Amino acid sequence: MRNISLVFERIARPVSLVLVLLFAVSALQAQDVKEGAKLFKANCSTCHKVFGKLTGPELAGVNERRDEAWLLKWIHNAPSVIASGDPIAKELDAQFPNSTMTAFPQFSEDQIKNILAYVKSEEDKKAAAGADGATGGGGTAGTASSDVNNFMIIGLIAVIVLAFVVILVLNKVIRTLERVITSNKDLIPQPVAQAPGKDYVAMLKRLAKNKKLVFFAVLMLIIFLGSAGWKTLWNVGVHEGYMPVQPIKFSHQLHAGVNQIDCQYCHGGAYKSKNASIPSANVCMNCHTGITASEKYDGELSPEIAKIYRALDYDPETMEYGPNTRPIEWVRIHNLPDFAYFNHSQHVVVAGVECQTCHGPVETMEEVYQYSQLTMKWCIDCHQNTEVNADNAYYEQLIAAHEKLKKGEKVTAALLGGLECGKCHY
């Protein structure tokens, strides 16, 4: 026993020393990697990903692909390397004809090495995760699920056993009761033969004779049906609260709320025309060429974003668009009848009405529903209370006309816009 502890002590000392040293070195490296990660995110991630092509080539394996001296030179000032006629640089330039690697003269050699260390560490992480997935990772997941299974199986067995016990006990009780009944048949008084329904009928007949009660029952029924009917009729054709299922689970809460993208970014038509316009899919792609929400789907492309790609026939691997586009058929929520003219730009630009005034807190809606009634009464209520901002050219003309009237001058139809083409030729 003593021998063993001595041996252990002898081994433990150098091992702990090595561990401490290793830890110190890895801490230093971690610092480098952290610094590199920061620089990478701020400067490189616009065009490069560690895994997968973006505007520039995939960076995984770059430390093996090129030697360090060349990388330092290249990252410092790529355009000059291309100009110098370097064969690798020329080949890269030919591969990416529409973009050239940005020059980063502000980076020190150490900073570039840190970035490369970060790329390497990401590769190691992925390799480790891959190995884990094959062995360790699978193991832990397995135990976790088997825990659940064990618990469920034990629970199920307990429930079944309990059910058996209850059945047995009940059976016994029934048998004893039957025995008691057969032995004491004469003692039990026979129930008076009477149909169970007759009782109620008799009671109802008695109540029906009470005229006051009947009156109140009818009154209540009328009030109930009347109010329910009234409400239903008023809501015919009113789509307030209408929240159809859309072809893509697009969350306004995420895009307008959390990301703070202005309504106008996608629905710019509201500021320029009658329609608020549904954005075409190229507007989605302004962000979703880069954003794939893969962290939510274990590194896979989000199935909802995949629907945009399908609509555009876009291949995320090659980053190219194909010819087989097909529209995304969004379901219209806000639909004014065609006999009512409504113009978005008039309300948003001229009157300065906020989108939320009519559409509600869209920036908090996971799924959009119709917030307002969009009935004629709803329009009129707002129009009766909204003050007009007379500070524009249209009212200047009217005010000028009034001034003329006050002075007793002649006011012609032309002054009030009577020469506008649309007045006659609409």
Partner 1 sequence: MNRKNFLGAVSAAVAIAAVVAACGEKTTRSTRWEFSRNMYDPIGYNPDQPNNNFKDGKTAQTPPTGTTPVGFERFAYVNTVQDYERAGAELTNPLEKTEKVMAEGAALYQVYCAVCHGAEGRGDGSITKDRELVTKSERRMLENFPPPPSYAASDSINSSRGGAMKDLTDGKIYHTITYGVNLMGSHASQLSPEERWKVVMYVRELQKK
Label each residue of 361-423 as H, E or C: CHHHCCCCCCCCCCCHHHHHHHHHHCCCCCCCHHHHHHHHHHHHHHHCCCCCCHHHCCCCHHH
List C-alpha distances in Å: 305 to 99, 264, 404: 26, 21, 62
275 token code pair: 């329609």
Give the separation between CA 226 and CA 317, rounded to whole angstroms: 63
Under the binding rule (CB under 8 A), the answer on residue 377 touching partner 1 is: no
In the numeric block, the tokens 């379901």 are attached to 331
207 token code pair: 């109540």
Member of 85, 191, 323, 337 binding partner 1 (CB under 8 A): 337
Please choose, out of 31-39, 191-199, 324-332, 407-415, the segment that lies near partner 1 by the rule CB under 8 A. Answer: 324-332
- Using CB under 8 A, which residues numbered 27 to 56 contact partner 1? 41-43, 45-47, 54-55
Member of 149, 171, 235, 412 binding partner 1 (CB under 8 A): 235
Q: Which is nearer to partner 1, 33 or 312 (CB)?
A: 312
Under the binding rule (CB under 8 A), the answer on residue 232 touching partner 1 is: yes
Burial of 148 (0-12, 13-18, 19+ CB in 10 A): exposed
- Using CB under 8 A, which residues numbered 156 to 175 contact partner 1? none
What's the min distance (Å) between Cβ of 110 and partner 1? Answer: 19
153 token code pair: 């199986």
Member of 102, 357, 372, 375 binding partner 1 (CB under 8 A): 102
- First CA to last CA across the chain, in angstroms? 108
Q: Which is nearer to partner 1, 103 or 401 (CB)?
A: 103
Nearest-10 crossing angle of helices 281-288, 303-312: 130
Member of 287, 349, 380, 399 binding partner 1 (CB under 8 A): 287
Under the binding rule (CB under 8 A), the answer on residue 366 touching partner 1 is: yes
Member of 111, 114, 121, 292 binding partner 1 (CB under 8 A): 292
What's the min distance (Å) between Cβ of 283 and partner 1? Answer: 7
Please choose, out of 12-20, 129-137, 140-148, 264-272, the segment that lies near partner 1 by the rule CB under 8 A. Answer: 264-272
In the numeric block, the tokens 């010819």 are attached to 323
CB atoms under 10 Å from CB of 414, counted, come to 9
Please choose, out of 19-27, 166-174, 221-229, 416-424, the segment that lies near partner 1 by the rule CB under 8 A. Answer: 221-229
Under the binding rule (CB under 8 A), the answer on residue 219 touching partner 1 is: yes
Under the binding rule (CB under 8 A), the answer on residue 254 touching partner 1 is: yes
Helix, strand, or coil (residue 10): helix
- Using CB under 8 A, which residues numbered 52 to 91 contact partner 1? 54-55, 79
Q: Which is nearer to partner 1, 248 or 283 (CB)?
A: 283
Under the binding rule (CB under 8 A), the answer on residue 379 touching partner 1 is: no
Beta bridge partners of 315: 320
Q: Which is nearer to partner 1, 145 or 294 (CB)?
A: 294
Please choose, out of 103-111, 171-179, 401-409, 411-419, the segment that lies near partner 1 by the rule CB under 8 A. Answer: 103-111
383 token code pair: 């129009």
What's the min distance (Å) between Cβ of 171 and partner 1? Answer: 46
Please choose, out of 5-13, 99-107, 114-122, 415-423, the segment that lies near partner 1 by the rule CB under 8 A. Answer: 99-107
Under the binding rule (CB under 8 A), the answer on residue 101 touching partner 1 is: yes
Label each residue of 309-366 as H, E or C: HHHHCEECCCCEECCCCCCCCCCCCCCCCCCCCCCHHHHHHHCCCCHHHHHCCHHHCC
Under the binding rule (CB under 8 A), the answer on residue 190 touching partner 1 is: no
Member of 62, 103, 351, 362 binding partner 1 (CB under 8 A): 103
Member of 339, 377, 391, 414 binding partner 1 (CB under 8 A): 339
Which of 62, 113, 103, 56 lies closest to 83 in space, CA to CA?
103
Q: Which is nearer to partner 1, 150 or 275 (CB)?
A: 275
What's the min distance (Å) between Cβ of 336 and partner 1? Answer: 8
How many residues touch partner 1 under the rule CB under 8 A: the total is 80
Member of 196, 237, 323, 352 binding partner 1 (CB under 8 A): 237
Q: Residue 18 belongs to what H/E stretch?
A: helix 2-39
Burial 338-377 (b: 16+ CB within 10 A, else e): eeeeeebbebbeeeeeebeebbeebbebeebebbbbbeee
Under the binding rule (CB under 8 A), the answer on residue 389 touching partner 1 is: no
